[in-house]
Amino acid sequence: MSDDSREPVTDIDNPEWTEADFRRARSPEATFPPEILAQFGGSRATSGTSTEKVSVSLQLSPEVVSHFKATGPGWQARIDEALKRSIGE
């Protein structure tokens, strides 16, 4: 028989943030020098960017997909860049 009285899980080594913790928080750009930030690569685009994207379903050859996937994270963005180059953008 299972016990349905579930107690909240707490972690003394990683407590939940308080309002004061959030007020003290600083962005990585305000915390680390540029040479350290450069080691983490670029940031992902957010919904507030000027470039709008349209979600589509697209069938590509397995060779194209495997080629771009082999280049690592961001492979879909690289396909987008290749397509833009093909139309002269």
- What's the pLDDT tens digit per position in 1-27? 566 678 878 888 999 999 999 999 998
CA dist 42 and 34 (Å) reads 12
Residue 20 domain boundaries: 12-41
Task: Give the per-residue pLDDT at 7.
Answer: 80
Indicate whether 50 belongs to any domain.
no
Number of domains observed in the structure of the chain: 2
Per DSSP, the residues of 28-44 read HHHHS-HHHHGGG-PPP
Indicate whether 3 belongs to any domain.
no
Non-local (6+) Cβ contacts of 10 within 8 A are 16
Asked if the model's pLDDT at residue 46 lies above 90, the reply is: no
Query: How large a percentage of the chain has pLDDT more than 70?
Result: 84
Confidence of residue 44 (pLDDT cuts 50, 70, 90): low
